[in-house]
Structure 1
């Protein structure tokens, strides 16, 4: 299949599908090796949470022998939503594994096919541990753009990646194709989970059929920031681990009110592309030492 002459890894058919439907599923975008550093970062965070829960007297066993997919679920099995939300509904720790993920050439090649080679990695990235029986795990119908309604950041591409198999049982992503063609809808903050997620009312969803997207680990789902989407509760025994990253052209608003993003790729200014050292220091671009 032909690829765009301007670069990128997506075929013309894939690009047209994304433009028409508002999303694209790319299977096996990341290998097990490429996911390893991210899983290690997640594992380190879980260990820090276990230490904190243990020190607070909320647990008596850190469950260090449990595997990646089930340890966090075990830690919160006898605790409440409030205990879980102490650590946030999504994590944005500046850990090397996350920078390595956001800078992954396979991801940037796919994004380049859609917005060109001048790519800014948004500060709005989230590590999502969807824990069984925790209300914060279920995300209501919404548009990502509701989180930056005053921004001119459009198009913003979300790259959602599952680090375990995402299934109907553990709360995979659900979308409404082609809804990205509408404007930002009026939204409200939901009240049931304690998270304040932006949400839409049932009557705003229209009659477009909902599409569930169960995927294997390492699969990426790219979608437009106006696409209606949600995820269901986790009814399994393990954690549904995912990460949602966001990318936009460099001439758009960097959304500084959400944090510090970074220049991830540039054909015009390759010497300005941020390094791990820059990102850890919260610099948007590379600054050569004098």
Structure 2
């Protein structure tokens, strides 16, 4: 596709300047309860699948179907080990319709359009993260998102981190270092102590930039550059800190197919190619209309 020509979007001049200077931007209350409903249903569907498997394997005797969204997964894994939880992954990337609706949400795309223009590709690296109390996968070490695609010719890649419950200091909100998006990709190592395999940086690589903690209300989005240093702390509460991190980039950048199938989320140049839910469910990056005719 061609170079982006159209820049519209929803961000103000002040917000754009803040993002440019600091490498991140907080959009309070970006999503409403209605916006979050279908993604939450997708999360609950995944939890139900896990509960069914645990029940079938004889690891639980009660699928706890009546427990609320914030607590059910914690209770299902109560008394089990990190290894048993990590069998299902440190984060989830299932193709459940609610996630497509989230990634295609116009409120998110409008904000992204302000930063990269109107030709928007939804990167295949999206994560649904249930930060469960006491489970190693919950704490994420200091890193740059770029460390997960070091060889990809994709710049910029913008992360949109959204909390589906109130993210607090207690349950492990996001922490970041403003201005560090100007750093090159730092030499990282794979975290080995917890079995999560997260990419990680050493303390002496973090520099002197101050750390900013970002407790936010549910529905708030935090946008940041893929070179920005960030981390999150363990969940010390009794409920799950549910969040998602989505990623977007211009359409003329590397689609990173080795990470899966992303999709064309918005295009003014080729609107007919924007991927539908059915396209996404079938791992198609774009929509293609096949004209068929029949004669009686």
Q: TM-score w.r.t. structure 2 length? A: 0.96
Distance in 1 (alpha carbons) for counterparts of 2:181 and 2:133 = 30
| Counterpart for residue 294 of structure 2 | none
Following TM superposition, where does structure 1 have runs of at least 4 consecutive aligned residues deviating by more than 3 angstroms? none
| Counterpart for residue 247 of structure 2 | 246
Distance in 1 (alpha carbons) for counterparts of 2:48 and 2:258 = 30
Q: Is the contact between residue 124 and residue 245 of structure 1 (CA under 8 Å) also seen in structure 2?
A: yes
Q: Is the contact between residue 128 and residue 242 of structure 1 (CA under 8 Å) also seen in structure 2?
A: yes
Tell me the CA shift for residue 221 of structure 1: 0.1
Q: Is the contact between residue 176 and residue 209 of structure 1 (CA under 8 Å) also seen in structure 2?
A: yes
Distance in 1 (alpha carbons) for counterparts of 2:251 and 2:66 = 44
Say how many residue pairs are matched. 286
Tell me the CA shift for residue 64 of structure 1: 1.3
* RMSD, aligned α-carbons: 0.8
Tell me the CA shift for residue 209 of structure 1: 1.0
Structure 1 residues not aligned, in runs of 5+:
none
Q: Deviations over 1:230-282 (max 9, x none)?
A: 00000000100000000000000000110000000011000000000110111
| Counterpart for residue 285 of structure 2 | 284
| Counterpart for residue 112 of structure 2 | 111
| Counterpart for residue 262 of structure 2 | 261
Structure 2 residues not aligned, in runs of 5+:
1-5, 292-296
| Counterpart for residue 26 of structure 2 | 25
Distance in 2 (alpha carbons) for counterparts of 1:6 and 1:186 = 34
Q: Is the contact between residue 7 and residue 116 of structure 2 (CA under 8 Å) also seen in structure 1?
A: no
Distance in 2 (alpha carbons) for counterparts of 1:43 and 1:210 = 33
2:124 pairs with 1:123: yes
2:67 pairs with 1:66: yes
| Counterpart for residue 183 of structure 2 | 182
Secondary structure of the residue aligned to 2:128 is strand
| Counterpart for residue 102 of structure 1 | 103
Tell me the CA shift for residue 54 of structure 1: 1.0
2:221 pairs with 1:223: no
| Counterpart for residue 275 of structure 1 | 276
Q: Is the contact between residue 121 and residue 266 of structure 2 (CA under 8 Å) also seen in structure 1?
A: yes
Distance in 2 (alpha carbons) for counterparts of 1:110 and 1:171 = 25
| Counterpart for residue 200 of structure 1 | 201
Q: Is the contact between residue 182 and residue 226 of structure 1 (CA under 8 Å) also seen in structure 2?
A: yes
Q: Deviations over 1:194-248 (max 9, x none)?
A: 1110000000011111100000000000000000000000000010000000000
Distance in 2 (alpha carbons) for counterparts of 1:77 and 1:226 = 36
Secondary structure of the residue aligned to 1:68 is coil
Tell me the CA shift for residue 13 of structure 1: 0.6
Q: Deviations over 1:15-40 (max 9, x none)?
A: 01001000000011100001000000
Tell me the CA shift for residue 289 of structure 1: 2.7
Distance in 1 (alpha carbons) for counterparts of 2:239 and 2:64 = 14
